[in-house]
């Protein structure tokens, strides 16, 4: 009987240890928005590995700006006519943006070339997939590393009628698999011609003050 009790307790301890080792790095306090409508800009600062979860939300004339130390999960959201970038995210953490539609107006304040989706930091990697961006004077997607941007995968991205398709700047180890761009290329930017990965994508890093082609891996790219 004692042997059975010992074995039972040992099994419980073992499974508890396994459970704790499987807890993801983003198991912090959760900030959840579901089925909400935003008519103005939402600014959030994440602390202590907080987790932003946003599902099925609608931004009408507003934008989402996220900073801090935490993780971001955005799913099935729509951004209509944001004043600047629809999303501007810079976090020390993981970023997931999936099934998001972004519709610009073709103009932004002071003629600044804001992009549809701007990513300034994702230190723990991320996944950005099934995203549509239209009508921005800047890039459809701007990936500019103010904080490190490591191992972010982009898949099934569509960009229409923007100043450019996707601009990756100082990103490291990213992958782009499935990118379609129409009327959104960099042909007019002749100074970037020798660094173009494709007519609709720029991939650059700065080393000792000089710009070079980045190390992003590309597959299934279409530019019209």
How much is the pLDDT for 91?
98
Return the H-helix or E-strand segment holding 16: helix 2-22
pLDDT tops 70 at residue 129: yes
* pLDDT tens digits, 33-86: 999 999 999 999 999 999 999 999 999 999 999 999 999 999 999 999 998 999
Mapped onto helix, strand or coil, the DSSP state of residue 6 is helix
94/117 Cα distance (integer angstroms): 16
pLDDT at 191: 59
pTM of this structure: 0.85
High-pLDDT (> 90) share of the chain, %: 72
* Averaged confidence pLDDT in the chain: 88
Contact residues for 195 (Cβ-Cβ < 8 A; gap 6+): 202, 203, 204, 211, 212, 213
Range 132-138 average pLDDT: 96
What confidence category does residue 113 fall into, taking pLDDT thresholds of 50, 70 and 90? confident
| Count of Cβ atoms closer than 10 Å to residue 74 Cβ | 23
Question: 213 is written with which tokens?
Answer: 């082609």
67-72: long-range pairs with CB below 8 Å, 24+: 67/91, 68/44, 68/92, 69/93, 70/26, 70/28, 70/46, 71/25, 71/26, 71/28, 71/46, 71/95, 71/96, 71/124, 72/46, 72/96, 72/97
pLDDT recorded at residue 189: 64
Q: Is the pLDDT of residue 22 over 90?
A: no
DSSP 4: H
Which are the contacts of 23, defined by CB distance < 8 A and separation ≥ 6? none
Domain layout of the chain by residue ranges: 22-223
**What pLDDT is recorded for position 183?**
94
pLDDT score of 4 more than 70:
no
pLDDT tens digits, one per residue of 165-183: 999 999 999 999 999 999 9
Would you state the pLDDT for residue 196? 72
């Amino acid at each position: 009987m004692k042997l059975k009790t010992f074995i039972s307790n040992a099994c419980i301890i073992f499974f508890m240890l396994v459970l704790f080792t499987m807890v993801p790095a983003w198991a912090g306090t959760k900030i959840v928005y579901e089925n909400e409508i935003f008519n103005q800009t939402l600014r959030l600062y994440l602390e202590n590995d907080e987790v932003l979860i946003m599902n099925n939300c609608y931004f009408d004339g507003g934008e989402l700006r996220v900073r801090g130390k935490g993780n971001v999960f955005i799913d099935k959201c729509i951004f209509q006519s944001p004043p600047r970038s629809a999303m501007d995210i810079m976090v020390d953490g993981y970023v997931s943006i999936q099934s998001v539609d972004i519709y610009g107006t073709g103009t932004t304040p002071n003629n600044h070339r804001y992009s549809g989706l701007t990513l300034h930091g994702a230190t723990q990697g991320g996944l950005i997939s099934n995203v549509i961006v239209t009508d921005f004077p800047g890039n459809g997607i701007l990936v500019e590393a103010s904080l490190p941007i490591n191992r972010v995968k982009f898949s099934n991205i569509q960009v229409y009628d923007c100043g450019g398709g996707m601009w990756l700047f100082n990103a490291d180890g990213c992958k782009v698999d499935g990118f379609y761009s129409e009327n959104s290329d960099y042909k007019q930017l002749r100074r970037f011609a020798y660094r173009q990965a494709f007519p609709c994508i720029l991939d650059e890093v700065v080393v000792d003050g000089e710009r070079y082609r980045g190390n992003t891996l590309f597959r299934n790219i279409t530019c019209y």
